[in-house]
Amino acid sequence: MPSPLVAIIMGSDSDLEIMKDAALVLEEMHIPYEIHILSAHRTPFQAMQYAQEASSKGIEVIIAGAGAAAHLAGVIAAVTELPVIGVPTKSSYLQGLDSLLSMVQMPGGIPVATVAINQAKNAGLLAVSILGIKYPEYREAYKTYKKKLEEEVLAKDKKLTTKGWQAYLEEKKK
């Protein structure tokens, strides 16, 4: 087993349904990762220790997801020099705006690269893109991924212009 390059951590198992999207991207790109539940609030000592040791274990990027008063990513970023990508997860009361603001409004000096609410997929892709600077195979994998996206959109455009928007919409509804 190759040692993990990416750590996916989340404040609670309630975030797993969202955070699995980051794991799926990394699996698609064959990037080794590990995944943990750690909380700056509920397991502060373990979260801190994990973040402090991550780099020496070979981790190169950390993805941290949390909801509500989402302090996890910021606390992790405070004690590591690794890039930290934050995923604000949608909380039950404030639709994730609380998580987003807690995560994105970091004080100067300790950045968290925050993606959109629930966008763990983009967090995974950002990790791929960061790793691509050092690993040509991951850069290529990301290139291939984007090429596929491009082809999908162009195919849709062709269909739209060939069939007309009414028929396109009818078919899309089916």
Ligand X SMILES: Nc1c(C(=O)O)ncn1[C@@H]1O[C@H](COP(=O)(O)O)[C@@H](O)[C@H]1O
List of residues contacting ligand X (CB under 6 A)? 10-12, 14-15, 39-42, 66-72, 89, 91
Q: Contact at 8 Å (CB) between 83 and 132?
A: no
* 139 vs 2: CA distance, rounded Å: 18
Shorter beta-carbon distance to ligand X: residue 56 or 93: 93
Q: Contact at 8 Å (CB) between 65 and 89?
A: yes
* 124 vs 28: CA distance, rounded Å: 10
Shorter beta-carbon distance to ligand X: residue 42 or 158: 42
* 49 vs 9: CA distance, rounded Å: 13
CB of 29 to ligand X, least distance (A): 25
Shorter beta-carbon distance to ligand X: residue 19 or 128: 19
CB of 141 to ligand X, least distance (A): 29
Residue 42 is labelled as binding a ligand: yes
CB of 18 to ligand X, least distance (A): 9
* 74 vs 68: CA distance, rounded Å: 13
Numbered residues of the known binding site: 12, 15, 42
| Known binding-site positions for substrate | 12, 15, 42
